Structure 1
Amino acid sequence: MSLPAKPEVPPPHAAMPTPAVARRWYTRWLLRGLAALSLLMGVAGVFIPGLPTTVFILIAGWAAMRSSPRMHAWLWNHRLFGPMLQNWHAGGCVSRRAKRSAAAMMGVCAVVLWFTPTPMWLRIMASGCMAAVLLWLWLRPEPA
């Protein structure tokens, strides 16, 4: 006779930072628009190779924290987007999975770029930018 499996307890969420909402109404609306646009771009980045997801979610979290506490709380507690924001808040951490995914997608984009008829300067510039971003990304700490 075996014992029933223990239900897995999710780890406690990091303490959500207190939103610092902008004072002027037009600033709040501009930031809210930026948050919504960044969130849409981040979601699109899940499906479109070469379009970053994490960066857009971080921008969305930053803009939401300054414009809409409700949107920020939703992002912070979201099962997909929340860990990105929480890791970044905990010291600029990026998960190894996100690093590997970004490296793979940038690699695919670089290969496609080098095998399409594009100007050489564009290939070199785009590859250099991707290499710089990857270097920066892999130098970021990983969550504990």
Structure 2
Amino acid sequence: MNLWTLLGMLFLALGFIGALLPIMPTVPFVLVAAACFARSSPKMHRWMRQHRRFGRTIRNWEKNRCVSRRMKVWAITMMTLGGGTSTWLFVPPGWMSWAVFGTFLIGDLVVLLLRECPAAPAGAEKEKTE
């Protein structure tokens, strides 16, 4: 097993954790995992590209370097609500809570600045798995 495969597994695990925890993003970790597997394991890369939940996002990113509006809205909503709630509940009031909440807002800004995929024309067929 080489370094790219190990990194792919690490980022895929972080993406899985992010799918369970609203304060941690999922998509960036999945995209990085796919990039690692593209360099090391064609089988894992193919599996990720065909995954029912993340495959389309990975294919969009690899082909067009864009993220769907739905993914952007979901990521921003979950980071803001999850991060804000966690900060409010677990971080002591004061400068530290503002710093932590600011970190989540920076994450929101990064997602907001990602290029958005063009909307599919009405009546277009769903993209088939490659």
TM-score of the superposed pair, with normalisation by structure 1: 0.71
| Conserved 8 A contact 1:32-1:63 | yes
1:34 aligns with 2:29: no
| Conserved 8 A contact 1:57-1:84 | no
Match in the other structure for 1:123: 97
- Alpha-carbon RMSD: 1.8
Match in the other structure for 2:128: none
Residue 61 (structure 1) aligned to one of 16, 25, 34: 34
Q: How many residues align structurally? A: 117
In 2, Cα distance between equivalents of 1:86 and 1:119: 42
Any unmatched runs of 5+ in structure 1?
1-27
In 1, Cα distance between equivalents of 2:80 and 2:117: 24
Residue 133 (structure 1) aligned to one of 92, 102, 107: 107
Residue 110 (structure 1) aligned to one of 84, 87, 90: 84
Any unmatched runs of 5+ in structure 2?
119-130
**% of aligned pairs identical?**
35
Q: Name whichever of 112-121 and 81-90 sits farther off.
A: 112-121
1:83 aligns with 2:53: no
Higher gyration radius (CA): 1
Partner letter of residue 141 of structure 1?
R
Q: 1:116 to 1:64 in 2, by over 3 A?
A: same
TM-score of the superposed pair, with normalisation by structure 2: 0.78
Following TM superposition, by how much is the alpha carbon of 1:66 offset from its aligned partner in structure 2, in angstroms? 1.0
